[in-house]
Homo-oligomer: A and B are copies of this chain.
């Protein structure tokens, strides 16, 4: 099964945006046990799109094309592919109705050029787009037309915006691919998400233990992100499920406490779930992370039941007014100190009457470091029913990565207390 991915967009060729579609779509195919064989990015111009699609169809069983399905003059994918395959375009009334309702729900007039998105090439399957106006399209290209094969190639066209493409891929494309891939035998993939152990150390700790299973067909992979390493266990074949169950139990014995979730689960969703299950609540006090911890927790539906408030106390005055941090503490120890973060955590808990107060203060940079407290220093405080504990961390990254890493450590500190 050969898979090729074509990303269209002049903004990609100019480097104006990062091609996150490549990573995300490749992850999805990898998770289905069928990695992408080739990815191509090309500008919005006509000739390049047709040439790339034609070439891909000479090789691949599945060709995914992203972008160029929108309403503007540089959105040419639909027309160019129809013309290349000599298919007529016809307006689909149900898509017109969807576009009309999309605009009327927003109480905005429907611009006439948006109607072009209802044009469908003959024989295409339409993929609904609940989050936008351009539907996805799937064409079956008959065997022999571009390559010798026994089965048709699938040409899948998806809209460019990630918030439209991702749900469409998961809800409409994956079920169809699973069917097409079922001939290859069952495929199992389990991703264990961890935090607090680096990628090299992770490999040192688990790879030797898994070596006998690798001989039996286990595929082992790692994916390092900021503040998290995913361990990927994969296997194809009849005994794949047993192999992966055995591998997971070995990994859990070795590093169990560092595993916060499975699959695509995020640390913040685990924290919200645990708080909900245990009937506990949290208030957050942030300085250096600037609202990121609150933002991550409130991304999770249902957060409002367990997250009372977040106090982003950037100034010393705000730390005193909203959290009751004492002026002497700030002047004697500084805003970035164990003493200050302890009073922040206690203040957030007491004022909001929550089970927990979670607080961070640190030096995000690019300025403000000292020899004793260099840029990247962070203090994390967790006030609970029985005690208040403080962790000191060093995250010497640029500003945004510092915020992400520190927020991750703070959420992990809370998660560890919740599972104890």
Q: Does A398 contact B (CB under 8 A)?
A: yes
A221 & B312 in contact (Cβ 8 Å cutoff)? no
Q: Does A413 contact B (CB under 8 A)?
A: no
Contacts of A30 in B (CB 8 A): 13-15
**Can you list, as one digit per residue, whether each of A226-268 has a CB less than 8 Å from chain B (1) or not (0)?**
1000101000000000000000000000000000000010000
Contacts of A41 in B (CB 8 A): 22, 38-40
B48 & A37 in contact (Cβ 8 Å cutoff)? yes
A36 & B22 in contact (Cβ 8 Å cutoff)? no
Minimum CB–CB distance from A177 to chain B (whole Å) comes to 15
Contacts of A146 in B (CB 8 A): none
A38 & B44 in contact (Cβ 8 Å cutoff)? no
B40 & A13 in contact (Cβ 8 Å cutoff)? no
B397 & A131 in contact (Cβ 8 Å cutoff)? yes
A290 & B301 in contact (Cβ 8 Å cutoff)? no
In the complex the two chains form, what is the Cα distance from A297 to B399 in whole Å? 12
In the complex the two chains form, what is the Cα distance from A58 to B395 in whole Å? 43
In the complex the two chains form, what is the Cα distance from A14 to B25 in whole Å? 9
B22 & A12 in contact (Cβ 8 Å cutoff)? yes
Contacts of A397 in B (CB 8 A): 131, 163
Q: Tell me which of B17, B26, B167 contacts A23 (CB under 8 A).
A: B17
Interface size on A, residues (CB 8 A): 109
A230 & B11 in contact (Cβ 8 Å cutoff)? yes
A16 & B318 in contact (Cβ 8 Å cutoff)? no
Residue of A36, A161, A286, A295 ringed by the most chain B CB atoms within 10 A: A295
A226 to B, closest residue via Cβ: B163
Contacts of A351 in B (CB 8 A): 321
Q: Which of A68-76, A85-93, A337-345 lies at the interface?
A: A68-76
Minimum CB–CB distance from A210 to chain B (whole Å) comes to 11
Minimum CB–CB distance from A366 to chain B (whole Å) comes to 5
Q: Does A203 contact B (CB under 8 A)?
A: yes
Q: This chain: how many copies in the complex?
A: 2
A35 to B, closest residue via Cβ: B13
Q: Does A27 contact B (CB under 8 A)?
A: yes
Contacts of A304 in B (CB 8 A): 314-315
Q: Tell me which of B204, B230, B311 contacts A311 (CB under 8 A).
A: B311
B106 & A396 in contact (Cβ 8 Å cutoff)? yes
Q: Does A355 contact B (CB under 8 A)?
A: no
Q: A111-B200, A308-B314 are in contact. List 11 more A-B contacts (CB 8 A).
A: A10-B232, A11-B221, A11-B232, A12-B22, A55-B55, A113-B203, A131-B397, A161-B226, A291-B291, A299-B399, A309-B312
A sample of 28 cross-chain residue pairs with beta-carbon separation below 8 angstroms, ordered by A number, consists of A10-B232, A15-B25, A15-B26, A16-B232, A16-B264, A17-B223, A19-B22, A35-B43, A38-B40, A73-B203, A108-B198, A111-B204, A113-B200, A113-B203, A163-B226, A163-B398, A289-B298, A290-B294, A290-B303, A291-B298, A291-B312, A299-B399, A299-B403, A301-B399, A308-B318, A311-B322, A315-B352, A317-B352
